[in-house]
Amino acid sequence: MSHRWMFEVLSDLETYARCNGLPQLANRLSLAAGQAAHELAAAQRTERGEPPLSLSRRAE
């Protein structure tokens, strides 16, 4: 299933917020889009049976 529509909606809302003097909301919408991309990528890795990416590397 394509999630493209969600990113388009978030982008439209971010643009609206920036154009209407709501910079903090615009920043949060941008962060929300980034979080969505991260979670969707993680879900795709899980579906393929790949291990999740770690934000920090441990010394082995």
pLDDT single digits (tens) 4-41: 999 999 999 999 999 999 999 999 999 999 999 999 99
Whether 19 maps to a domain, the answer reads no
Flag whether 2 is in a domain: yes
Q: How many domains does the chain have?
A: 1
Give rounded-to-5 percent helix, strand, coil for the chain: 70, 0, 30
Q: Please check whether residue 57 lies inside any domain of the structure.
A: no
Q: Is residue 37 part of a domain?
A: yes
3-state secondary structure of 3: coil
Per-residue confidence (pLDDT) for residue 54, from 0 to 100: 64
Number of Cβ within a 10 Å radius of residue 14: 20
pTM: 0.74
Q: How far apart are CA 29 and CA 12, in angstroms?
A: 10
The residue range of the domain holding 4 is 1-10+29-48
Task: Output b/e per residue, 32-44; b: 16+ Cβ within 10 A.
Answer: ebeeeeeeeeeee
In a domain, 58, yes or no: no
